Amino acid sequence: MDHQHGRLLLVGGTHGNERTAPWILQCWKAQPALLTSPLPTTTCIGNPEAYGANRRYIDRDLNRCFTEALLRDRSCTIREVIRARELVDAYGPGGNDPHGLVLDMHTTTAAMGSSVVTCGERPVDLALAALMHQAVGMPVYLFQINEDQPEECGFLVRRWPCGLVLEVGPVAQGIVDVRTVRKTTACLDGLLDVLRDCLTGKARMPETMVIHRHLASLDWPRDRDGRRIACLHPDRPRWDWTLLYPGDPLFLMETGETVAYQGEEPVWPVFCNEASYEEKGIALSLTRRETMTPPAAGLEALLALLRS
């Protein structure tokens, strides 16, 4: 079935309380002419059970369930692990209906606008992200995979030969907001235009691309019982994608005291005050802004994948 690998899988609702992408898929089903993809395209709800319950997940975050160990463990009865296995068995490169590319569509409560996330540094992912950055101007967040932290691995996109994560915000969990729908649709149109240019030979890789490389995540200050005792400092008019310097105000404590950022270098925060990260002990993530040369081999791999 290798001839089918040049197919695109669009996933919405990997987190069941993120309603934007499922709404777009619902509109496409009602109005098929709205989806004009240059590739054979399949759409699906990532976590239908959580989506039906309007919850992020039922047993476990689906977007951490795609590790090789979990997928191999056929005795595991965690519902999201079973669902991950279903998706890979159906649409993965060795599945019944293989797809080569996947876009996992998310929203965030953080005021990040529209951005694209690469999970790791696979050349083919970086190439597609570079083309997206060039076409739409979306920031690229490079989340580095640390195999020593399995709880932060297991991302859906890693199970496909090429995969990106789309993040659009801010929007509250559990609602459909038309402005966020339109921003997400614009990003999708940009992706489809990029793929169209690849197929017609018009795609040209930019000489450089700007990325925000993940460095670390910070938890909220907490007391001995684990109770959160701070919020983000109000003196910054904007948190996401803006420079945070050593000594800048970071947290405002319940006592009224200010806690400053103690790092050794300026950083660019992202996912600031993301509601779903409270359970993960993450107040914000820190990145370093870098300029890199997109890997030429990545574009070659992307074109081969699209045309196979």
Known active-site residue 167? yes
307 φ/ψ angles, rounded to the nearest 5 degrees:
-100, 0
| CA distances in angstroms from 79 to 5, 85, 152, 235, 281, listed in the order given | 28, 10, 18, 43, 23
Which residues fall in the annotated binding site? 15, 18, 56, 63-64, 106, 167, 277
Q: Which residues pair with 11 in a beta bridge?
A: 44, 104
Minimal CA–CA distance to 269: which of 238, 237, 291, 229?
238
Selected catalytic residue, list 167, 254, 278, 290: 167
Q: Which residues pair with 76 in a beta bridge?
A: none
Radius of gyration of the chain (CA): 19
Q: How far apart are the C-alpha atoms of 81 and 63, rounded to whole Å?
A: 10
Torsion of CA 247, 143, 48, 8, to 10 degrees: 140
Rounded to whole angstroms, the maximal C-alpha distance in the chain is 63
Which residues fall in the annotated binding site for substrate? 56, 63-64, 167, 277
| Residues acting as catalytic residues | 167
